Amino acid sequence: MYKVLVSDPISDLGIQQLVEANDIIVDKNPGLTEDELVAIIGDYDALLVRSQTRVTAKIMEAGKKLKVVGRAGVGVDNIDLGAATERGIIVINAPDGNTITTCEHTFAMMMAVARHIPQAYMKTVGGTWDRKSFVGVELRNKTLGVLGMGRIGSEVAKRAKAFGMNIMGYDPFMTEERAEKIGIKLASVDDIVRAADFMTVHTPLTPETRHMIGKAQFEVMKPGMRIVNCARGGIIDEIALVEAIDQGIVAGAAFDVFEVEPPAEDHPFLKHPKIIVTPHLGASTIEAQENVAIDVSEQVLHILRNEPFMNAVNMPPIPANLQSKLQPYFTLGEKLGSFIAQSTEGAVQEIIVSYSGELAEVDTQPLTRYIVRGVLSHHLGQEQVNVVNSMHLAKLRDVNIVIQKSHASKDFTNLVTVALRTKKEEHIVAGTLLTGYGPRIVQIDKYPVDVTPEGNLILISHNDKPGIIGRVGTLLGNNDVNIATMQVGRQLEGGSAIMVLRVDKGTPKEVLLQLTSMPELNTAKEIILP
Ligand SMILES: NC(=O)C1=CN([C@@H]2O[C@H](COP(=O)(O)OP(=O)(O)OC[C@H]3O[C@@H](n4cnc5c(N)ncnc54)[C@H](O)[C@@H]3O)[C@@H](O)[C@H]2O)C=CC1
Ligand SMILES: O=C(O)CCC(=O)C(=O)O
């Protein structure tokens, strides 16, 4: 049974699939403090949050069983990603489910600031019929600057065109071709600031975007601009904005987000007649909350069940076409890593992975993570290492990872070779997927073999002498170790050779010692593959 803690208000319908899963127990416990979370998180395999819960390093440290933190929404700035990665906790978000809702909120804010709707409402319900103070402006024929042309920014631009606005957009990933295709003008921040009548920001908050609109931009801004922020507090410098409004540069602003949420009671936005605010409601519609909760619950289920998943924030995404190519190799890669770690003695210094055949033509980074996981988990424990933290843990331990690619693969469509160099020795294992047969180890050091990488194996290196196979069989039989399959590899008759035996259960240490005391036998190692 896996336990999932939901620590923010998340749509019931959205998490229904978790509640109904017979291998999952869901506890809903919103509004906990950090200390309260620390006290209980140790029981849980997954944590589901929106933006209120701050998932700190302390919480993750206490979450000994925690495998995944799911964010029902886009921004993950409430989650300590570094701490999650260090501990191998996968962080996923639901990037698509609230795009339209947030775009529509942006529009609501833009129209509200253009027509003073909140201010007019307050006066009207207060008993004053004032039609003079609230003369607004049209959107038609105005220029809208969109900073951040991702999911939400692009939808905003699309709708703004329908309102007859001219759009200037800035995004470091935006090309002239794409701008032309969606009918906007690609511009710099500076151009937008100088030319736009309305400006809306849709970037994440990063060191680069923090205060990207500040004093310097207000100084050159087109007078009368109206500004909307439904992305993240801090992209626009709040203090500089208030000054710019008071100086008559900015005509009005509409903010859904704040540098600190909730804002302090004396925050200058809250009493300013030209600033309208909402309490981070961008994603708050029934539809969006269902969408994001459904998306994130689905991925949490996949992760807990060890199935392929999407939308991990702390590891690079695997494109769908690549996922289908690489997925079959993940298990093989991890087994090769585990095999080589168990067969090589000494402190790991270097892992050299060679991809040949078709694999040499694709981005194999995701597969490398599995191989490194296989190597490290032998030393650090299966629970400690996963594909999120395997590369990070290797780096922390100064393990050098070398990737080699060769398009030619002599005997196989694809071949994955893993060499492990330690202070003491170096060994190699290579594997492939055989159509209709599954994963196979096809080479150990210089010896060609054909071994199914599973179960309890004994890897023996010996001198190729008549009778040795029989003597090994007899010794194991006398010790009640039953041999299921056996593979022998050698290069030259009478030279050095290896034997790989699959046995039905674990081999006691003293039996391995007895094997190595046989004169023709050099080493005998037990290798256990899941
Ligand atoms: N108010 C609310 O409730 C909600 C807020 N958001 C926030 O809205 C923002 C946008 O979300 P999405 O469109 O889904 O994200 P996205 O990832 O699709 O788009 C963000 C875009 O910003 C661009 N960008 C990054 N640095 C930039 C820079 N220095 N200058 C210009 N562009 C830059 C990126 O290239 C990307 O295209 C995020 O901050 C997200 O957290 C999202 C949903 C709800
Ligand atoms: O959960 C929420 O309502 C906040 C949404 C948000 O800011 C986001 O998805 O980035």
Going from the Cα of 339 to the center of ligand 1, the distance in angstroms, rounded, reads 43
89 and 166 both lie in a single domain: no
Q: Which of 232, 369, 392, 421 is catalytic?
A: 232
Going from the Cα of 53 to the center of ligand 2, the distance in angstroms, rounded, reads 12
Answer for the pair 253, 275: CB distance below 8 angstroms, yes or no.
yes
As a whole number of Å, the end-to-end CA separation of the chain is: 21
pLDDT per position as a tens digit, 320-332:
788 888 989 999 9
Q: Which of 105, 226, 280, 378 is catalytic?
A: 280
pLDDT per position as a tens digit, 116-144:
999 999 999 999 999 999 999 999 999 99
Active site residue 272: no
Position 282 in a domain = no
Position 488 in a domain = yes
Q: Can you name the residues that pair with 25 across neighbouring β-strands? A: 3
pTM summary value:
0.76
333 and 434 both lie in a single domain: yes
Q: How many separate domains does the chain show? A: 4
55 and 119 both lie in a single domain: no
CA nearest ligand 1 atom 7, residue? 231
Return phi, psi of residue 364, to 5°. -95, 10
92 and 18 both lie in a single domain: yes
Active site residue 34: no
CB of 4 within 6 A of ligand 2: the answer is no
333 and 441 both lie in a single domain: yes
What does the alpha-carbon distance between residue 295 and residue 272 come to, in Å, rounded to a whole number? Answer: 38
191 and 50 both lie in a single domain: no
Answer for the pair 33, 59: CB distance below 8 angstroms, yes or no.
no
CATH number of the domain where residue 78 is located: 3.40.50.720
- Under 8 Å CB-to-CB from 339, ≥6 apart: which residues? 374, 429, 441, 453, 527, 529
CATH number of the domain where residue 518 is located: 3.30.70.260
Return phi, psi of residue 30, to 5°. -75, 160
Going from the Cα of 75 to the center of ligand 2, the distance in angstroms, rounded, reads 6
Per residue of the chain (530 residues), give pLDDT as tens.
999 999 999 999 999 999 999 999 999 999 999 999 999 999 999 999 999 999 999 999 999 999 999 999 999 999 999 899 888 899 999 999 999 999 999 999 999 999 999 999 999 999 999 999 999 999 999 999 999 999 999 999 999 999 999 999 998 878 888 899 999 999 999 999 999 999 999 998 888 899 999 999 999 999 999 999 999 999 999 999 999 999 999 999 999 999 999 999 999 999 999 999 999 999 999 999 999 999 999 999 999 998 878 888 888 777 778 888 898 999 999 999 999 999 999 888 999 999 999 899 999 999 999 999 999 988 887 767 888 889 988 988 889 999 999 877 678 889 999 999 998 899 999 999 998 889 999 999 999 999 999 999 999 999 998 999 999 999 999 999 999 999 998 878 888 999 999 999 999 989 999 999 999 899 999 999 97
Position 379 in a domain = yes
Q: Which domain holds residue 475?
A: 454-529
What does the alpha-carbon distance between residue 73 and residue 93 come to, in Å, rounded to a whole number? Answer: 6
Dig out the tokens for 530 from the structure: 């899941």
Active site residue 232: yes
CATH number of the domain where residue 366 is located: 3.30.1330.90
DSSP 8-state class, residue 346: S
What does the alpha-carbon distance between residue 54 and residue 78 come to, in Å, rounded to a whole number? Answer: 5
